[in-house]
A and B are shown apart, each in its own frame.
Chain A
Amino acid sequence: DAGITQSPRHKVTETGTPVTLRCHQTENHRYMYWYRQDPGHGLRLIHYSYGVKDTDKGEVSDGYSVSRSKTEDFLLTLESATSSQTSVYFCAIREENTGELFFGEGSRLTVL
């Protein structure tokens, strides 16, 4: 058990509404990541963090923002959700010694 949880696990919302997904870890890892998974695209990096208040963009960051005010929590926010953001979102933490990423169980977001 890598000690990583995501919430909510499922959410249905309407276009234009704000949405925040939360990733919580209990392992005190420095690196945390948000990916989205879509058919035909695999997993694509949205944003990542390498410490408290240290974040950077991934390859599909438009329309998303993140915050990390404490080590254990990494929040992903969609300020104004669009239908193209319907996806499954995965949070991950990285084991620094091995490079291995441990993933949360995913959050399925549907934007109507």
Chain B
Amino acid sequence: AQTVTQSQPEMSVQEAETVTLSCTYDTSENNYYLFWYKQPPSRQMILVIRQEAYKQQNATENRFSVNFQKAAKSFSLKISDSQLGDTAMYFCAFMKHDHDFGNEKLTFGTGTRLTIIP
């Protein structure tokens, strides 16, 4: 079974600064997806960024980027120029890529609560 570990339960950073959230995972699979989801106080789950394991290039989405280290099984999220609206819970998640067996399930870490301080 896959496991996802987020070792930082809470973080805070000043507005406009850069912050990095860590995530490690454990798997014997070679083909998989990794995700970061954001959950603001509204409770809605929002996809921040997605990475396919076979792609060596790190994914970026505007102010959000990842550092994907496949050998180390590490998938950290960097938020640049942080904004008050970035205040949220952030979840790292793993999904095995397995079309043939209907066995594609998303496994989440326990989350990091990020607070952006004005």
- Interface, chain A (partner B; CB < 8 A): 31, 33, 35, 40-45, 48, 50-51, 54, 56, 58, 88, 90, 92, 94, 96, 98-103, 105-106
CA A101 to CA B50, docked complex, whole Å: 11
Cα A33 to Cα B52 in complex, Å, equals 21
Nearest-CB distance from B37 to chain A (Å)?
8
- The reply to whether the CB of B95 lies closer than 8 angstroms to some CB of chain A is yes
A33 with B43: in contact, given A98-B50, A99-B97, A100-B35 (CB under 8 Å)? no
Whether A101 lies near B91 (C-beta < 8 A) is no
| Segment at the A interface, from B12-20, B63-71, B78-86, B108-116 | B108-116
- Given A42-B91, A42-B109, 6 more A-B residue pairs with CB atoms under 8 Å apart are A31-B104, A43-B106, A44-B108, A51-B102, A106-B43, A106-B44
Residues on B with beta carbons closer than 8 Å to the beta carbon of A98: 50
In angstroms, Cα B91 to Cα A74, docked, is 24
- CB within 8 Å of A: which residues of B? 6, 33, 35, 43-45, 47, 50, 52, 91, 95, 97, 99, 102-111
Shortest CB distance B100–A (Å)? 11
Inter-chain contacts of B91 with A (CB < 8 A): 42-43
Q: Which residues of the other chain, B, contact A56 by a CB distance below 8 angstroms?
A: 102-103
Which residue on chain A has the smallest CB distance to residue B44? A105
B102 touches A54 (CB 8 A): yes
Decide: A43 and B108 in contact? CB cutoff 8 A: yes
A94 CA to B95 CA, complexed, in Å: 11
Residues in chain B near residue A90, CB distance under 8 A: 45
When distances are taken between beta carbons in the complex, the residues of chain B under 8 Å from A92 are: 45, 106
- B50 contact from A45, A54, A99, Cβ within 8 A: A99
Known: A90-B45, A105-B44, A106-B43. A42 touches B102 (CB 8 A): no
B108–A99 touching, CB < 8 Å: no
Q: Is the Cβ of B111 less than 8 Å from the Cβ of A48?
A: no
A103 touching B109, Cβ below 8 Å: no
Complex Cα gap A30–B43 (Å)? 25
